[in-house]
Structures are given as C-alpha cells and as structure tokens.
C-alpha cells in the first residue's frame, strides 16, 4: 500500500470529509485534506532530514494523512477511534501487520489529551501535526464570532518549521500578532502541544525550540 493509493482511497477521502465537517460544526479549525496532506508531508520531511529510510518516511506519510479520521466519529478520543478505523482499512491491503501496527499506534497516540510519542513514527507525526498553526486554518466566518482557537490561529501571520540535522534541532518560528491574541492566550492553547513536541523531539534525538516574535520561549 503506497501513500499515493491512500490519497486516492474513497473511504479515507469520505472519512476526512466527514471529520472536517463535524469539526466545523463544533467550531474547530480546518481538518480537511489540506491539514492531512500537510501533516503527511511535514512528518515525512522530518524523518527524511534526520536520515531515516524510505520505508519509514512512507509509513509516516500514511499515518499523517489518516491521523484525524477518528473525528468522523467523535472529537473526543478521535486518536483512538481513528486508529481503529485505520486498522480496518489497512487490514484489507497488502501491508504487513508490523507496518500496520506502527501506523495505528502513531495515530492512536497523536492527541495531547491521551497520547505522546512512543517511537520515531509517532514522534514525527506529533511534531508535524502540532506545528500546523496558520491563519488559513481558521474557517470563513465573521471575526466577531471568533473563539480563542480561531484568534490564536488567526494571530499567526507567519510560521516556519526548521530542521537542522547536524545540530539535531527542530525549531518552530512564529510571528504572532499580539493585537489579535495575547501571549497569555497563545500559551494557554499551545503550551501543552509544544511540550508534547519537545518530548517527541527527544525520541528523534533532537532538541525542540519555539521562537515567538524573535524570542526563544521553549
């Protein structure tokens, strides 16, 4: 089973559409194929840069693309639900049991409420997912109806993830418009996720740095 086939799979496509629809209805930011594809490519880029082989980058791409499908059932426990859904889908393919379990375990551990990195695949997935902070994840709606999640994402006018394989450093550099959200609000929403990224980076033998408006904060 290749990543290109995963992207063309009708059931996965429908699951992402339903998941994104549900999250839109309860006020969450973009979780469409755009988020899925971005997380897939970013997670693969992280492993590639740190010298992991093609097999692992392909597995993390697949896990990245499918990581949020559990939201088609419920936001709560979406990581675990998504892992079960992914297991059912991948079981019908030619993928080995070992590879399938690497993917479902990464999906099942990606949310900060119940998860955490357990191996390099889940570590790269977590870092790719939690660093997808950008203005265009906020859905079209009147600014007056923005909640704190919308404001925090909208306030991020620039976001760059840099991987330095020699220094073994992963850094997320954000430009946050403090007129839109205060630093307090930003950290209230993101600190837990950034701490999760730091622990995931340790599994990759790397340090995680967060730089907001030019100041190193983590």
Binding residues for Fe ion (CB under 5 A): 68, 129
Inter-residue contact 82 to 39 (CB < 8 Å): no
Beta-strand pair 207-212/215-216: antiparallel
**CB nearer Fe ion, residue 173 or residue 193:** 193
**CB nearer Fe ion, residue 20 or residue 68:** 68
- C-beta of 73: minimal distance to Fe ion in Å? 13
d(CA 11, CA 63): 15
**CB nearer Fe ion, residue 135 or residue 177:** 135
- C-beta of 115: minimal distance to Fe ion in Å? 9
Beta-strand pair 207-212/169-176: parallel
- C-beta of 68: minimal distance to Fe ion in Å? 4
- C-beta of 184: minimal distance to Fe ion in Å? 24
- C-beta of 78: minimal distance to Fe ion in Å? 6
**CB nearer Fe ion, residue 169 or residue 174:** 174
* CA angle (144 as vertex; 140, 148 as ends), nearest 5: 80
Inter-residue contact 75 to 49 (CB < 8 Å): no
**CB nearer Fe ion, residue 33 or residue 182:** 33
Inter-residue contact 126 to 115 (CB < 8 Å): yes
Nearest to residue 3, comparing CAs of 68, 85, 58, 82? 58
Nearest to residue 118, comparing CAs of 97, 101, 96? 101
């Amino acid at each position: 089973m290749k990543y290109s086939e995963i992207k063309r799979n009708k059931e996965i496509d429908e699951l992402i559409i339903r998941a994104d629809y549900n999250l839109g209805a309860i006020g969450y930011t973009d979780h469409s194929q755009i988020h899925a594809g971005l997380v897939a490519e970013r997670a693969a880029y992280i492993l590639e840069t740190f010298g992991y082989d093609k097999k692992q980058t392909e597995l993390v791409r697949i896990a990245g693309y499918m990581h949020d499908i559990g939201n088609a059932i419920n936001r709560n426990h979406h990581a675990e639900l998504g892992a079960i859904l992914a297991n059912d889908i991948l079981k019908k393919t030619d993928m080995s049991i070992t590879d399938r379990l690497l993917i479902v375990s990464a999906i099942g551990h990606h949310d900060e409420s119940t998860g955490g990195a357990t191996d390099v695949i889940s570590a790269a997935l977590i870092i790719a997912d939690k660093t997808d902070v950008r203005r265009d994840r906020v859905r079209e709606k009147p600014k007056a109806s923005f909640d704190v999640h919308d404001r925090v994402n909208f306030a991020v006018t620039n976001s760059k993830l840099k991987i330095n394989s020699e220094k073994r450093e992963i850094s997320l550099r954000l430009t946050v418009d403090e007129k839109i959200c205060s630093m307090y609000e930003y950290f209230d929403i993101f600190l837990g996720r950034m701490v999760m990224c730091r622990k995931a980076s340790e599994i990759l033998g790397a340090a995680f740095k967060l730089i907001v408006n030019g100041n190193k904060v983590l």
